Structure 1
């Protein structure tokens, strides 16, 4: 809402939200080093003192020797888009909370019926009822997992994905997760190669969530293989957990995109590979929240290796 003279006199940094100054300066430094534009979403103060979201692009202009001669910047008001995103996030959060209570109740009643039927003797429909209720219980577990994922999405959007950091042995946690996986998937072979006593300072439950998600994906996308290899190792300044499957693999053009929200690889048979494209986005978000990173090595029809990198 300012004219050129007003904006010049007001001062560019005075307009920026204090929480975004450091990130903006780091972005400019990276743009200076690379010669590429720095693109960011930032809040700028208008003439009424209100912070408004903008898409900001700062581009370095180079001379023939590659030195920066000037900067060209542009900002676009995206406040309306941000408000719409917030409304969607609030709706997802509310819906997830509202669904969790009845789903939990239904699950409780299903498990109660299962226990009662299993105690009955001479019940002619016992086998049919047990199989049906067991299937319902499995589907409810999947629905509960989806609701939890949606709640985590809303927490990430709101910047409220809190971590309870503690020191623990990463190889022990991986062994626990694999033991649970063996019980849930007795036909699969889970191989673990781990260094002993690999310490990490992280949120144990969240890292467990990451591992469970990656192992579940390895199982899902390996219909013709029942082998999953897991390696726990340490390096300079980091610890790593690599999960390898021997399944359908991922084409190179899709490998960067698989960590994006709601992204699903084109051409996958939805009858066999169901999902909403949430899992790997959550995995990546949780790992990045720990100041770590994800890497992927994959070839079509040769399987994939997902590696979690955590700082120490």
Structure 2
């Protein structure tokens, strides 16, 4: 709780003002008395009182005008510094860090200076904006790179196709590469659009009650051509669970995790999908027998455009956005997602959701 001005501080200020007024009125009394004697005038007591009072207030005003800047000069300078800092922030320069020595020097013992909270707020705002700007620059750089790579391939192979002497087999190969890169661009655009929609504060969530176990069974069966083609042993163990959530968003969540597990599971490997309920929490575990993830990569795996293996992920058509979308959907449902993995021993993604999210 913020502390108001102390009684002693208020009393001190009242006494100082009273003394200043007393001194000004005293000076006015003696000045007017000397002036009356000089011009040989003896005014009425009421007139003399009014003149003394008016002159005393004039002296007090002059005193404030002269002494005020000397007393408050450093505060005015610091206020000017804060204004300059805000102007720098408005121009996009977030390297602002106001000196807190001022508030330490001028604060009263046991009380914060009025500018202290403002200084901390400006510094925090500048630091947060700098982090956001760095993320924005990194995001733009990643998007440019992800778009530029397939466009370069498309342009190069399209130029090669102009060669009329090219045999049909090579022509078909180049056309297949162009088609693959176009699909990759389409998938990237789709994922970016999904993230933009999820990030929007205007995104409307349509939550309903439905059977989560039935949804997972349907999605696993929908992916059967992919895991059956790689001869993956798909083990599914699901409890009957009813959940209150956005069904469409949850489909996107599970599809991303299941596709991710299929993509990194080698031929003849195994994937386990478990669903259980504990009180008001739902737990879903998806385990693959892929190459695993290092501890260092686990710390950043949900960041946008982050890829554990750049070359391998690109060859498999990944853009580094799938797990970011998963993380965002889980957050929107007040849940948590974690990953446990050891290199060479596969990976387990665990999603924990409330039965009824807010």
How many residue pairs end up in the alignment?
230
CA contact 2:305–2:320 (8 Å) conserved in 1: yes
Q: CA deviation at 1:143?
A: 4.8
Give the distance between the partners of 1:141 and 1:234, measured in 2 at CA: 38
CA change 1:302–1:152 in 2 (3 A) is same
CA contact 2:184–2:317 (8 Å) conserved in 1: no
* Partner residue, 1:174: 216
CA change 1:150–1:76 in 2 (3 A) is same
> In the alignment, is residue 235 of structure 1 matched against residue 284 of structure 2?
no
Query: Secondary structure of 2:282's partner?
Result: strand
Counterpart of 2:336 (choices 276, 284, 293) is 293
Greater fraction strand: 1
Residue correspondence of structure 1 range 107-256 to structure 2 within 5 A: 143-187=185-229, 188-196=232-240, 198-256=241-299
> In the alignment, is residue 75 of structure 1 matched against residue 124 of structure 2?
yes
Give the distance between the partners of 2:326 and 2:74, measured in 1 at CA: 44
Give the distance between the partners of 2:228 and 2:324, measured in 1 at CA: 28
Q: CA RMSD in A?
A: 4.7
CA contact 2:281–2:354 (8 Å) conserved in 1: yes
CA contact 2:233–2:268 (8 Å) conserved in 1: no
Q: CA deviation at 1:273?
A: 3.9
Give the distance between the partners of 1:292 and 1:225, measured in 2 at CA: 33
CA change 1:271–1:279 in 2 (3 A) is closer
Give the distance between the partners of 2:354 and 2:74, measured in 1 at CA: 46
Query: Secondary structure of 1:220's partner?
Result: helix
CA contact 1:55–1:75 (8 Å) conserved in 2: no
Give the distance between the partners of 1:54 and 1:291, measured in 2 at CA: 32
* Partner residue, 1:284: 327
Give the distance between the partners of 1:223 and 1:247, measured in 2 at CA: 6
TM-score normalised by the chain length of structure 1: 0.58
Q: CA deviation at 1:169?
A: 0.8
Give the distance between the partners of 2:74 and 2:203, measured in 1 at CA: 40
Greater fraction helix: 2
* Partner residue, 1:37: none
CA change 1:300–1:134 in 2 (3 A) is same
Q: CA deviation at 1:152?
A: 1.6
CA change 1:152–1:231 in 2 (3 A) is same
Give the distance between the partners of 1:145 and 1:212, measured in 2 at CA: 14
Structure 1 unaligned residues grouped into runs of 5+: 10-45, 58-68, 97-128
Deviations for 1:171-222, whole angstroms, at most 9, x for unmatched residues?
01000100101144433332210112x0111111111101110111111111
CA change 1:241–1:146 in 2 (3 A) is same
